[in-house]
Amino acid sequence: MKPQMISPPEEWSCSCDLMCVVEQSQEKRPKTDGVDTDSLANSFKQMKVADRGEHHHPSLDDGYFSQSINSQDFLSDTGHVDEITDNNIDCDGICRQEWSTEESEVCSDCDCNSNWNVVYTKDQDGDTHLHLGIIQKQSKLVMWFISLALNPDWLNITNRLVQTPLHIAVIMKDALTTRRLMAAGSSVEARDINGNTPLHIACRERHTEIVSILLKPVMFEETRGNKYELPYQRIPQDLEITNYDGNSCLHLAAMESNIDILELLLHRGANVNCREHKSGRTALHLAAEANNIPVMQFLLRRSNIDVNAETYGGQTPLRLAVGRNYTEAIQLLLARGACSFNDSLDDSDT
């Protein structure tokens, strides 16, 4: 019998509810693949999810830390867990063969549903144990948590900063988890509270390896550990997606002067002439305006660069460079064929 798609659990009323679920599950927990699941359960049982108080606020640090976690929330010893490449630490689908029709979301063969209910419940910051495991770099537990997801939607649960686990993995520069989440169906185009996709964050933070991973299509071999069919998603993503500041990934890479990331984006089909949405600047405008000679030299070597592209206000890269008296930038643009103007450039700055 094909298992039904189950929506992610809502927040529990308090952490006591979470502990009750785990304690009840101990009576008939199976052993699988030689893994002591009692010990494994105890690891995440001690990962404290804070009670929802009357006054609580989201994290204010763009996701590097969370108010609800500290160094004691995770066990440092996870040696009893299988190697992190093993994605089969659960009941191997036995519990998904038959579902009770009278008790929704209750597994009739074993209690592993207690585990995923706990793992994917939110704390006061909106983080699940999967979010927290990635932040605390508990790779073995993270791989187990991913294996408990019943469909890809569970991997796209967001916290108060509208960050999915994939956003957190990118922030933490966790290449292994980033790739595993992608192979398990995490959305590469999910946006956080600032409109950033994981790729925007990787470009902004200059994480070249992570950018390369996010741009690489998922191979069939990488999905064999999944217990559900993956929905189609485009990888690489639409590279002209902008965040809420109007910047595409290419604009962020240009502003961060990262030639390697610019090369990766353009190789994967990014439009070198795409405009940011606030003023219509291209990457070349941004480089000329900042007198960023290395980025200008790189961009001007592109055969399809529009050296005379205009902003919404009619400004070209040359006008921006002249208005700031950037001599070398002016020379580069003129050598590449930028049009010169006879009109006054005193008011050319935007």
Give the model confidence (pLDDT) of 231-250 as tens digits. Answer: 899 999 999 999 999 999 99
pLDDT at 116 over 50: yes
Beta bridge partners of 35: 32
pLDDT per residue as tens digits for the range 274-325: 999 999 999 999 999 999 999 999 999 999 999 999 999 999 999 999 999 9
Token readout for 46 is 């001690």
The class of domain 278-350 in CATH terms is mainly alpha
| Mean pLDDT for the chain overall | 76
CA proximity to 37, closest of 92, 85, 76: 92
Single pTM value for the model: 0.72
How many whole angstroms from its chain centre is CA 194? 13
Q: Which two tokens stand for residue 40?
A: 């494994």
Angle (nearest 5°) at CA 84 between 83 and 89: 80
Residue 20: CB partners within 8 Å, gap ≥ 6?
Answer: none
Q: For residues 85 and 140, what is the distance between their CA atoms, to the nearest angstrom?
A: 8
Task: Give me the percent of the chain exceeding a pLDDT of 90.
Answer: 59
The H-assigned helical ranges of the chain are 15-25, 37-45, 112-119, 129-135, 139-148, 165-171, 175-183, 198-204, 208-215, 249-255, 259-267, 283-289, 293-300, 317-323, 327-335
Give Cα 151 distance to the centre of its chain: 18
Quote the CA–CA distance of 58 and 163 in Å, as a whole number. Answer: 12
Is 278-350 in the same CATH topology as 169-226+233-271?
A: yes
CATH assignment of 169-226+233-271, given 2.40.50.140, 2.60.120.260, 1.25.40.20, 3.40.50.740?
Answer: 1.25.40.20
CA distance linking residue 281 with residue 339, whole number of Å: 17
Cβ(217)–Cβ(235) below 8 Å: yes
CA distance 40 to 82: 10
- The domain limits of the chain are 1-161, 169-226+233-271, 278-350
For residue 220, count other CB atoms closer than 10 A to its CB: 8
Per-residue pLDDT at 16 exceeds 50 = no
More confident residue, 129 or 19: 129
Q: What is the pLDDT of residues 52-98, one digit of tens each?
A: 343 333 333 344 444 443 333 443 334 434 433 333 333 333 333 33
Contact 65, 161 (CB under 8 A): no
